Structure 1
Amino acid sequence: MRSTGRGHSGREARNNKKWKTVIGEKVEVWLEGEMYRHGLVDDVMPDGSGLWLASEGPFHREYVDVASGFEVRTGHLPGL
């Protein structure tokens, strides 16, 4: 599931540290400097410890947690 490409389209994306505010937004999820996945945020844990990405195409609903080092970026992301 990890993307082999580095970075994104070059458009500005911001690191969203307040995960509670991204429900219903399309985001990029990064891990160790590489884009891991993108998708729609389905839900967020009440304590902000992680979020759920909605299922899309071949990808199942997936939990993404802060403790594992994931970074969530939102903004004007082309194609999302």
Structure 2
Amino acid sequence: MTLKPTTARKHTEWSLLVNALVEIRYNGQVLRTGFVEDAMPDSSALWIAADSKNSR
């Protein structure tokens, strides 16, 4: 699967990202990439699905 690069955006409504492929960054460094499995309605937390490289 080839992923097309996208523009980085800051999201405030995380529930809209459920099932989306995201890249979590901190100070410009990528911490984690994965699919959003679920998100709190108030955007206080989100869960990235576990994969073969990273646990939840």
Give the TM bin, normalised by the shorter chain. 0.7 to 0.9
Gaps of 5+ in 1: 1-9, 62-80
CA distance in 1, matches of 2:27, 2:45: 17
> What percent of counterpart residues are identical?
35
Q: Residue deviations 1:1-53, cap 9 Å, x none?
A: xxxxxxxxx74222222111100000000112211110000000122101000
**Which has the bigger relative contact order, CA under 8 A and spacing at least 6?**
1
SS at match of 1:15: coil
> Structure 1 length as normaliser, TM-score?
0.57
> Structure 2 length as normaliser, TM-score?
0.77
Which structure shows the bigger proportion of residues in strand conformation? 1
- In structure 2, the residue matched to 1:43 is 38
Q: Deviation of residue 58 (structure 1)?
A: 2.2
Question: Runs ≥4 in structure 1, deviation > 4 angstroms?
Answer: none
CA distance in 1, matches of 2:7, 2:41: 28
Which letter maps to 2:43? G
